[in-house]
Amino acid sequence: MNYGNASVGQKLTGEVRLSDERLAMVKQTYAYLAISVLAAIAGARLGSTTPALLNLFTGALGWILAMVLLNVIPHVALACRHRPVLGLVALAADGFVAGLVLGPAVAIAGLVATGQNIVLNALALTFLVFAAVSIVVWGSDKRYSAPRGLMAGIAISIVGAIVLNLFIPIGFLGMIISVGIGIFGVMVLVYATSDLLYNEAVDSPVTGAVMLFAGLFNVFTAILHILLMLFGGGRD
């Protein structure tokens, strides 16, 4: 099969044998992804605690700036994909800016649901979703199965939502919503992982890291906003 032209369904249900070179690139991709994630955490920390940045990214000008940066920087990283140093710098910048943009949401999350840490719980659920897919990838040896990734991710999402309910009583409806968001996140990551593993056009770990970080960013943002909606009225 030519996976470069595969449909969404094929990338979510396919199975493929991988070469040693492809497996090595996958491992390097996850190492690069860690740089983006750490930079995003630093950016979110700075963006949520600096008044000037909070004011900027809660206004119309900041929103426009965020949209421009979030679209331009990943393209810069892709353009530098065969230049490791510049590619890593662009990946770190992409993560850092993404964290800055999330700063206001992170700051608001710190003010709602007294006694509960929404940000940590959103991070935990995002990590569980990503870990489930990652474990399947790392344990695949030379054969990757997208259905295995989906099943493992869905199972972890359900368990994660149940555990989340123990720390933040979100009720049955909240659990259903969290599970739904988790499953969506799993599908996003499995699809991105399939592109990374199958698509011959993905010829650099920088490209794979950009794709996977975009998936993680969307998953975390969705989970955080769901939790904010559930607890927005619980503020003292």
Share of the chain above pLDDT 70, in %: 70
List the chain domain ranges: 9-234
Is residue 233 over pLDDT 60? no
**According to the model, what pLDDT value does residue 235 have?**
44
Q: Could you tell me where the beta strands, DSSP code E, fall in the chain? A: 15-17, 143-145
Higher pLDDT, 8 or 119: 119
Is residue 105 over pLDDT 80? yes
**According to the model, what pLDDT value does residue 2 have?**
43
Helix (H) or strand (E) holding 190: helix 171-198
| Buried-state track 192-230, b at ≥16 Cβ within 10 A, e below 16 | bbbbbbbbeebebbbbbbbbbbbbbbbbbbbbbebbbeb
Is residue 234 over pLDDT 50? no
Is residue 8 over pLDDT 60? no
